[in-house]
Structure 1
Amino acid sequence: MTEVAIGIIGGSGLYKMEALKDVEEIQVETPFGQPSDVVIVGTLDGVRVAFLARHGRYHHLLPSELPFRANIYAMKSIGVKYLISASAVGSLKAEAKPLDMVVPDQFIDRTKNRISTFFGEGVVAHIAFGDPVCPQLAKILADAVESLQLTDVTLHRGGTYVCMEGPAFSTKAESHLYRSWGATVIGMTNLPEAKLAREAEIAYATLALVTDYDCWHPDHDSVTVDMVIANLQRNAVNAQKVIQETVRRLAAAPPESDAHSALKYAILTPLDKISAEAKERLSLLLQKYM
Structure 2
Amino acid sequence: MSDGRLAIIGGTGLTRLKDLEITHRQVMHTPYGEPSGPLTFGQYHGHEVIFLPRHGAQHTIPPHQVNYRANIWALRDAGVETVLAIAAVGGITEQMAPGVIAVPDQIIDYTWSRFHTFFEGDDMGGVTHVDMTFPYHEDLRQALIQASRELELGAVEQGTYAATQGPRLETAAEIDRLERDGCDLVGMTGMPETALARELDLRYACCAVVANWAAGRSDGIITMEEIGRNLETGMARVKQLLPMVIERCRVS
TM tier relative to shorter chain = over 0.9
Secondary structure, aligned partner of 2:90:
strand
| 1:124-174 alpha-carbon deviations (Å, 9 max, x no partner) | 321111111111110111111222123xxx311111000000111111111
State the 1:4 CA deviation.
5.4
Return the offset for 1:201: 0.8
TM (norm. structure 1) is: 0.82
| 1:142 is the counterpart of 2:145 | yes
Corresponding residue number in structure 2 for 1:242: 241
Corresponding residue for 1:70?
Answer: 70
Q: 1:115: which partner in 2? A: 115
For normalisation by structure 2, the TM-score amounts to 0.94
After TM superposition, give the deviation of residue 222 of structure 1 in Å.
Answer: 5.4
Encode CA deviations 1:76-106: one digit per residue, 9 max, x unaligned: 0111111000000000112211111110010
Partners in 1 of 2:99 and 2:231 — Cα distance? 8
User: What residue in structure 2 maps to residue 19 of structure 1?
Assistant: 19
In the alignment, which residue of structure 1 is the partner of 2:44?
44
Instruction: Letter of the 1:231 partner, please give it.
Output: N
Shift of 1:23: 3.0
Matched, 1:215 2:218: no
Look up the equivalent residue of 2:147 and give its one-letter code. A
Deviation at 1:66, TM superposition (A): 0.3
Q: Mean alpha-carbon deviation: is it higher for 122-131 or for 60-69?
A: 122-131
For 1:100-179, list aligned pairs within 5 A.
100-122=100-122, 123=124, 124-150=127-153, 154-179=154-179
Q: Which amino acid aligns with 1:36?
A: S
Aligned AA (1:228): I
Distance 1:76 1:19, change over 3 A: same
Partner letter of residue 59 of structure 1?
H
| Residue-pair matches, total | 247
Is the 8 Å Cα contact of residues 160 and 182 (structure 1) preserved in structure 2? yes
Asked if the contact 2:33–2:70 (Cα under 8 Å) also holds between the matched residues in 1, the reply is yes
- The alignment partner of 2:83 has SS state of strand
AA at the equivalent of 1:238: R
Instruction: Kindly provide the CA deviation profile for residues 209-240 of structure 1, in whole angstroms up to 9, marking residues without a partner as x.
Output: 00111012132x15432121111222222212
Q: Which runs of 4+ in 1 moved over 6 A?
A: none
Q: Is the 8 A contact 2:110 2:163 kept in 1?
A: yes
Match of 1:256?
A: none
- Report the aligned-residue RMSD: 1.4
Distance 2:95 2:22 in 1: 40
Amino acid at match of 2:143: I
Q: Flag structure 2 segments of 5+ consecutive residues without an equivalent.
A: none
Larger Rg: 1
Q: Is the 8 A contact 2:41 2:51 kept in 1?
A: yes
Please tell me whether the aligned partners of residues 4 and 82 of structure 2 are also in contact (alpha carbons under 8 angstroms).
no
Q: Distance in 2 between matches of 1:65 and 1:191?
A: 12
1:239 corresponds to which letter in structure 2?
Answer: V
Gaps of 5+ in 1: 254-290
Q: Are the aligned partners of 1:105 and 1:132 in contact in 2 as well (CA < 8 Å)?
A: yes
Of Structure 1 and Structure 2, the greater helix share is in 1
**Counterpart AA for 1:127:** V
Match of 2:59 in 1: 59
Please say if residues 4 and 49 of structure 1, whose CA atoms lie closer than 8 Å, have aligned partners that are also in contact.
Answer: no
